[in-house]
Structures are given as structure tokens and as C-alpha cells.
Structure 1
Amino acid sequence: MALTTLKDRVKAAGSRTASVLDDETTHERTADGGDEPGREHADDATVGAWLDRFDADVTAALPRHVDGRVFLAALRPQLPKLLGRCTPASVLQSAVTCARFGLIPDGQQAVIVPDGRIAVFIATYRGFIDLMYRSGLVRSVVAGMVYEGDEWTYEPTAPAPLDFTHRPNVLATKEHRGRPLFAYAFVWLEGGVRSAVAIVTREQAEETRDEHSRAYQRAEESGKRDSFWHLRFDDMWLKTALRRAERLVPTSAELRALVAVEQAAEDGRPQILASVDPETAALDAAARRAARAAEGSQEPRRVPSKPSSKRGRAKPRRRNRDKKTRR
């Protein structure tokens, strides 16, 4: 039977791993986890054993349009580092969560990175854009960086699309373009309507990082400086602009679930438990109830038979009618 709903895919992927994910130590974070001698990278035997045990669980979470072989081919090179530094259960839950969104962990759409001893799934800004398109209402997503050497105008009171223009000097060298000034994002919807432009300066991106990214704070405290904000700041800067633009347009249930999943990672909670948003789960439950009701309505019903009577149905008297006629 095909697994088409979000809830079905997550449930199928987690059916064999519930006991692993319920382990009390599964999501315990330690500052020095993964720095033990010989623990930086797992050997081929460990990686092979992990795949033999859990590859079916990971591929069961994938939507039908994603090839399981492609997903596992992108995941496998990451496993030696992940299994060497993180708990096997956290590697499993992050891989299943990534698969549930149909994003490939190839560094382009998504990444799975260590956060202490916990493996964490993170969608890149490209993966975020991909999920924005899945709403069915988005025609085009535009996101970019404005540099010092670029031409640009921003007048928020002007009508779209005259409120914002950006003319990058694509032939200039990186040195001549200068440093980035701000990230921006906006969305064209089906029907030709354009959202407002979300603009994020570097200062605003750093404020978002410092106030809301606990992964960044943990990496700072440990001295490793290996969070995604440390390693790919510009990508997170762009993603911050996209997340602000996303609040201005209709979004898919998957995108709302992605926001919840990323917040779960920041809070140190298992991401897989947040991978289906409450609205989607409620709609799924309602659809199942409707399906059961429809099936029940098609069951053959026993038609009650007419009670037999020897006398039959009494005929109306015509005597009074005849009297009235004669009068």
C-alpha cells in the first residue's frame, strides 16, 4: 500500500525505531561528545551495519517523487562523521526527518550536522524555497544579496514592483562588488500578485542568530564554532530573509512543519516528533474519519419488509360522500 500522507510516512519510518528514540540518553547533549580518541569518524563496518538496519526506515519516509537510492547516496558520505560524533538514534531521527520533507542531504537542499552528540537536520535556503513552491500558490521566489557595488532602490510606499529594484554588477570581481549590505526575498503568487519585500541587514541577521539560535550559542560556549551560522553565515542570512517573506504569503503544511522542526532542534527536542504540524494531523484524521463514514454508508442495509395483514388496507368509505353529493 502506498504511503501518501505525511503522517503515514512518518509513522512508517518510526515504527521500527520507537524503542531507540525513546531511550533516555538519545537526546542528551554533551559539550565534549565526539571528541574522544577514535570517535571522530566511524569505520566502514559501522556505517554498513547502520544502513543495513535502518535504510528501509529512511526510504519509507520519502515522498514518492524522491528516489531512495539518490537520497542514500547523498547520506552515506556523511555517516562516518555523524556516527563517529553523534548517537546512532539521533542520526536516524535526523535522516528520517530530512527524508520526510523530500530534501536531499547533499549540502544544496539540506544538511545533517553534529550539534554536540546530536545529529541535526537543517534545510538550506534552497530547500526552503523548494518547500515554498509546494504550496501550489507560489509562482516564483526571488532571493538575493545586495552588495556595495550594486545598483538598487527601495521605496516601500511605492506600488509593486516599483518599490524595489536590484541591478547587480555580475561581471565585477568579488573585490569590486564590495561587501554584502543586506539580503532580500519576495514571492510572486499565482495570479500575478507580489508579496512585500523582506529585507534583512547584517545587523538584523546577527540579532536573529544571537537571540534565537541555541545551536550557535552552544557552539560558542564549547569553543568549536561549528554551527551552521558559523560555517555558512550567508546562507543563513538569506534563509532569514526567506523566512520573513514566508510569513507574508500562503504556505504549505510542510513549510509550517519545517519551521517547527527547526525550532525543535534549537530547543534540543527530537525533530521527528515535530515533523507533522497539528493542522496537517487534524486534517489527516478528519479525512480518515470521512473515508470510514463513506465506507460505512456503502454497506448493504437490510430493508424492513412491510408487515403482512390479512385484512389489507382499508378503503375509504364512500357512503358519506354519496350523501353529500345527493344533497
Structure 2
Amino acid sequence: MSQISNAIATRDNGPAAVVEQYRSDLALVMPSHLQARVGAWIRNTQGLLRRDEKLMEAAQNDVGQFIAVLMDAGRLGLEPGTEQYYLVPRWNKKKRATEVTGVRGYQGEIELMYRAGAVSSVVVEVVRDNDNFQFRPGRDERPIHDIDWDLTAEQRGDLRLVYAYAVMKDGATSKVVVLNKGHIAKARSKSDSANKDWSPWNTDEESMWMKTGAHRLAKWVPTSAEYMREQLRAKADIATEQRPMTLPVSIPLPAPGSVDTNDEGPIDAEFVDEP
């Protein structure tokens, strides 16, 4: 049993109560922009448990696992139970019970890209059968995607493609990622819970397509705040290198014959205590 599970064993085993007990630990791992609203973050999580019986059951089966998932969401600065970070009950074969696992959503992937500070905008969009989509790598900088917004999603047709790209701060376009049904099927096959009714692959399929596209884009775009710190350090180093050197002040030499040759040089000083 993990250390966090041992600690919980001696406490109230109710997941909602345990989340409150770990308030200070969650705040400690959160980015600064979330620390001020850790109370609301915790209340939203407790609300999720009250509204979703399957999630509550999975959290009760292994409260330590549930807290570990929340710690991961908090460390990333993402909201659990949203399209930033899904809380998903997953069947654990060894425990023969469901437990809570965390799945980063497409909005979470995008949030991490923005927070790194390298991009000015991120585009992630699905293409349906009746949309007009054109993109030729090497010729087109960005995809051309025409959508008839008067149509519903069903009228636009089945999901066909998903694409993602970022516009960097300097105006350049990142690598454009385009995934088809085969790519999505391969990504879905790696999910243990994809065939479950409560899986986001079944409850919110379009979002999972977008999540897959955003996740693939993350390989080409900085998603860590460490990137911004490296940029700031680089700028500081450049500023130091470009700082003008201070030249020594030129002292004029005395005119010939103006030097007192009887000068015996400096006199040794003596420190005297004042009365």
C-alpha cells in the first residue's frame, strides 16, 4: 500500500472529506494562479462526487488513488471533471474494482501550451464529411477549412479528420498535425476504458478527437513553464553580453616640472581613539 494510502487509512475514508483534509497539500503543488482559489477548486471536485455515483464508488474503492489523481491535476493547474482534465472510473483487473484515473482533455493540453508562453493562439478543430478541407504540406502554411455553420453537427456528417496547429509569438506557424480515422482508432485502442459507457470516448467523442490532435501537437509546441524560464534566462544573458563596457577614466599626466620632487610619498596613517 502506498504512503498516501496508509495516511488515509487512519482518517475519514469518505472521498469528499479526504479532499478537504488535503487542502494544504493540493495548494502546495498548484501553480500560483490556482492557489488563491484552491477552496473553489476543492468544492467543485466535491460536487462532482455528489453528482456522479459511479465516480463516487470508484473514489471510495481507492481513496489514495483518487487523491493522487487530484494531485496530478493540481500540479498541472487543470480543473478536474472538465474538458481540461477528465475524472474517469476505470476497471482495475488486479483489484477487481473500479478506481479513478485522470485523463487530460484537449482544453487541458491547450491550456498548458498557452501557459508555457511560446504561442499566441492554438487551433484545434474536427473536420466532418460535408466540410471542405484542404491542406498540402509544403505548399500551405495552414489548412483551409470551410464549414457551413447553419448545419448541425449531424448534418455536417460523421467525424472524418482532426487538425491542430499553433501560431507562435513571432507569427510563425507550428507544425500542422492532421489525423484521420485510422490515427484516432489507434489512439482509442490504447484506452482501457474506451468500450465503457461512461468513457469520454463514448460520452464526448468529438472532444476526444480534439484531445488526440492537441496531444499530438504538444510534441511540437512547448507545454512547460520551464520554457518561459529558459527564455527569460536567455534574454538576461543576451542583455548582459550587450551591456556597454565602462571604460576607465583617463587621468591627464602632470606637466613637466610641476611635480614636487621633495614629496616623500604617502604618510602612514595612525588610528587614534577619540576621547
TM superposition score normalised by structure 1? 0.58
1:252 match: 224
SS in structure 2 of the partner of residue 134 of structure 1: helix
From 178, 187, 198, the counterpart of 2:157: 178
Taking a change above 3 Å as real, the CA distance of residues 175 and 78 of structure 1, as seen in their structure-2 partners, is: closer
**Unaligned residue ranges in structure 1 (runs of 5+):** 1-16, 26-43, 256-279, 284-327
Residue by residue over 1:105-155, the C-alpha shift from the partner in whole angstroms, topping out at 9 and shown as x without a partner, is 142322222112321122210111000112211111001011222222121
Q: How does 1:191-206 map to 2 (within 5 A)?
A: 191-206=170-185
1:39 match: none
From 28, 38, 44, the counterpart of 1:74: 44
Q: Distance in 1 between matches of 2:215 and 2:81?
A: 21
Q: How many residues align?
A: 213
The question of whether the paired residues in 1 share the 8 Å contact of 2:13 and 2:63 is answered with no
> Is the counterpart of residue 19 in structure 1 residue 3 in structure 2?
yes
> Is the counterpart of residue 154 in structure 1 residue 124 in structure 2?
no
The question of whether the paired residues in 2 share the 8 Å contact of 1:140 and 1:189 is answered with yes
AA matched with 1:183: V
Q: Distance in 1 between matches of 2:216 and 2:177?
A: 6
1:127 match: 108
Measured after TM superposition, the shift of residue 87 of structure 1 is 0.6
2:203 match: 231
SS in structure 1 of the partner of residue 86 of structure 2: strand
Q: Distance in 1 between matches of 2:102 and 2:38?
A: 17
Taking a change above 3 Å as real, the CA distance of residues 83 and 50 of structure 1, as seen in their structure-2 partners, is: farther
Taking a change above 3 Å as real, the CA distance of residues 61 and 251 of structure 1, as seen in their structure-2 partners, is: closer
SS in structure 2 of the partner of residue 112 of structure 1: strand
SS in structure 2 of the partner of residue 183 of structure 1: strand
Measured after TM superposition, the shift of residue 233 of structure 1 is 2.4
The question of whether the paired residues in 2 share the 8 Å contact of 1:145 and 1:238 is answered with yes
Q: Distance in 1 between matches of 2:161 and 2:211?
A: 12
* Bigger fraction of residues in helix: 1
2:240 match: none
TM superposition score normalised by structure 2? 0.68
Taking a change above 3 Å as real, the CA distance of residues 45 and 247 of structure 1, as seen in their structure-2 partners, is: closer
From 47, 60, 65, the counterpart of 2:33: 65
Same amino acid, percent of matched pairs: 26
Q: Distance in 1 between matches of 2:202 and 2:47?
A: 22
